Chain A
Amino acid sequence: MGSPAPASELERRPEETLRASAVSRSFEGVRALQEVTLELHRHEVVGLVGPNGAGKSTLVNLLTGFDLPTSGTVELRGREITRWSAHRRTRSGLARTFQHSRSFRALSVRENVEVAALGVGARGREARRRAEELLERLALTALADVRADSLAQGDERRLGVARALVTEPAFVLMDEPAAGLPEAEVPEFAAVVRAVRDDHRAGVLLIDHNMALVMGVCDRIHVLDQGRTLAAGTPEEIRGDLNVAAAYLGETAVDTDA
């Protein structure tokens, strides 16, 4: 669904790429990730899927600076960032949303976004202005003064996206944004993901188990299994790949035409 909007040649340049090159990560001898290479360009949505324990979270942690690879490198817009702190990556255009949203529960929706804006160098009034703007775009203006912990699931996910986008990122990593989201709200969230790609021209790495969402919005899909790349390609290619169907998609692959 939706017209695929492939990244243009301009956006495939190294300066506009987030790249993990042959990254591996072992935890006390257990190889969680083995020689995985993944590229994300601006203006595209790449899905990262795989069964539990496939290494998705490990890869995201390496990309966002929550963990260091045992070997391999991470590059952001032509610069090696393998050992950069998470916050430094955010300031350089790599934002993320969290699996359990991690919003500041006691703060208002507006303040949540404001803190993120301040974090990338916006000053008092400017941070507030940018926060208002993002709330507007994500249809959260009416909820601006509401405490973050009283939001419904769908609104909370959009708050997470607003908090990421206010840092004006080139890339956004979304960690299981549809987890816990009522099925009826998934299409609405898919529209948000597309807007991040089309309106903000950011590259999105989408990690999720909801195959309707992944198949519906992704331009490319990267499948991990047991720490290795099992397959990579367009949603159509992945859907037709029997290995993938066996490893992960299983029965659900048949009825994912959202």
Chain B
Amino acid sequence: MSVLASIDLNTLGDAFGLGAIYALMAVGIGLVFGVLRLVNFAYGQLIMAGAYTLAYTTSWPVTASIVACFAVVVALSLAMDRLVFRPLRSSSPAVMLVTTFAVSFLLQAVALIIDLRDGTLGEVASAVAPLNQAITVGGVDIRKVTFVAVGVALGALVALALVLARTTIGLHTRAAASDFRTARLLGVRANRVIGFAVVVSGLLAGAVAVLLTVQNPFVQPAFALEDTIVVLVGVVVGGIDRLWTATLGGFAIGFVSVLVNAALPTDQTIFLPSVVYALVIVVLLLRPAGLFAWGRRAAMERV
């Protein structure tokens, strides 16, 4: 009967796996937010495009399929910035947010048109599915993808942290995130910094596309849509003003979702979002600046 009893090591593995994937999404969203002040609701559609790429290249060697996925997602990410965000760069955050909603729906509609050419909704990305098989570690079954997800997330986060801390483009990105106008005055090239954020954010979306498709090979236009909403909530809960708190927020909401899902009786899992969002409301009431935001400074650092 106890809630904790239903949380076994298996579930814990899944929780880390989803937490890692959501953390990657949070970084992708947070990085662009830091530089452009733009909450990209259409981030999920980058992932969806990657998932479709994997589905349509199932006959290719897995590596080629994954490379194609990254290429499509990064190209789409750049196109989104060039065609939509750049013309709106001086618009208010509200205008930009609403625009990303429009982009999100547009891309879902385009995906629907492409998908329905064969008369059925949805495609199956079977090539990457073997990663979903379980391996037994010390008597506990853990899916391979969990290890891959956690590994990729840790690797990507460490690599990004190093790039931001040690390189010129990283320094420029952090300066731009801290004060874009002054950064430009001091010679930081806006388009280079934005381009960097957009490409990295696209690479992360590509990685997430692969990981999510492994877990759920059935790809349809709404693929990753709900995940994106959950991650956006997680990012706000963590504190969107700082990249690392946003990332922790993404991880936390993925982790908690899996635990809540396991704790709920099987016939009650429909209440999963209700429980998770109720927790979110409680957290925001207690810590309006974000779960991991400490003190006055929290609102200032963005990357």
What would be 17 A-B contacts, judged by CB atoms less than 8 Å apart?
A86-B185, A87-B185, A87-B186, A90-B186, A98-B182, A102-B179, A104-B178, A105-B297, A105-B301, A106-B300, A107-B175, A114-B171, A115-B183, A116-B187, A118-B168, A118-B186, A119-B187
- A-B pairs with CB below 8 Å: how many? 63
Interface residues of B (CB under 8 A from A): 168, 171-172, 174-175, 177-179, 182-188, 297, 300-303
Q: Which of A104, A116, A119, A149 contacts B174 (CB 8 A)?
A: A104
Q: Is A124 on the interface with B (CB-CB < 8 A)?
A: yes
- The residues of B that contact A150 with a CB separation of less than 8 Å are 297
Output the least CB separation between A209 and chain B (Å). 23
Contact A119 B168 (CB under 8 A): no
Known contacts A87-B186, A90-B186, A149-B297; is A107 also within 8 Å of B174 by CB? yes
Contact B187 A104 (CB under 8 A): no
Contact B185 A104 (CB under 8 A): no
Contact B182 A102 (CB under 8 A): yes
Residue total for A at the interface (Cβ-Cβ under 8 A)? 23
Q: Which 4 A-B pairs have the closest CB atoms?
A: A119-B187, A106-B301, A104-B178, A119-B186
Q: Describe A's contact surface by its main secondary structure.
A: helix
- The residues of B that contact A98 with a CB separation of less than 8 Å are 182
Contact A115 B171 (CB under 8 A): yes
Contact A115 B179 (CB under 8 A): no
Q: Is A129 on the interface with B (CB-CB < 8 A)?
A: no
Output the least CB separation between A91 and chain B (Å). 7
Bound Cα distance from A118 to B174, whole angstroms = 14
Given contacts A106-B174, A111-B174, A118-B172, 6 further A-B contacts (CB under 8 A): A104-B174, A104-B179, A105-B297, A115-B172, A115-B175, A163-B186
Output the least CB separation between A80 and chain B (Å). 21
